[in-house]
A and B are shown apart, each in its own frame.
Chain A
């Protein structure tokens, strides 16, 4: 069983604040790290697929970094908006074509 941990479990930030959260995963048998944004009752939305150590990806105000040697990834949100409120999931992919998810970080942006 692979252990993927996300922290914090939840956080509340004020509109306009920047925030970040962490995903920790095994440093062996790494193939890719996926980030998803999930609003309950909707489809988890793919944000990033990261495969290389040192990768940095950006999509609008959201960006992510990857360190495969130490087994962590950070997700950053700059200037949080209420519509950013969601659960952010990371998932670790080994050579097998399935994903091992963390329990997610639930973000609430307060207007």
Chain B
């Protein structure tokens, strides 16, 4: 069974440019999450989709970040315009079932973003 896949694995862009990260969750997983780890800090929650609906986007840092999950399958996270402090690794994760099932949340390898 394929795991959570993310693209691109690495991206270097200039400040002010736009980057779009893509995540394909495990097939059949309705829950999809985005997390981010900035250098030296803890992994932090960005947002959570249930199918195509945003369940919780309380972790999105500002309106330069836009996440979508059209059709409830893959998701994209766009950063526009990128700033230096956006550098870090962006993880996508997915899970099956609801919060009440003690379900495992499976992570992708991350998209490593460097803004210069």
Binding site for B on A (CB under 8 A): 4, 31-32, 34, 36, 41-44, 46, 49, 51, 89, 91, 93, 95-104
Cβ contacts under 8 Å, A100 to chain B = 45
Cβ contacts under 8 Å, B7 to chain A = none
- Closest residue to A97 on the B side, CB-wise? B99
Query: How distant is the Cα of A102 from the Cα of B42 in the complex, in angstroms?
Result: 6
Contact A98 B42 (CB under 8 A): no
Q: How many A-B residue pairs have CB under 8 A?
A: 61
Contact B43 A101 (CB under 8 A): yes
| Interface range on chain B (Cβ under 8 Å from partner) | 20 to 34
* Partner pick for B43 among A31, A89, A93, CB 8 A cutoff: A89
Binding site for A on B (CB under 8 A): 3-4, 31, 33, 35, 40-45, 48, 55-56, 59, 91, 95, 98-99, 102-110, 112
Q: A49-B103, A100-B45, A103-B42 are in contact. List 14 more A-B contacts (CB 8 A).
A: A4-B42, A36-B107, A41-B109, A42-B109, A43-B3, A43-B108, A44-B43, A91-B43, A96-B56, A97-B99, A98-B48, A98-B59, A101-B44, A104-B42
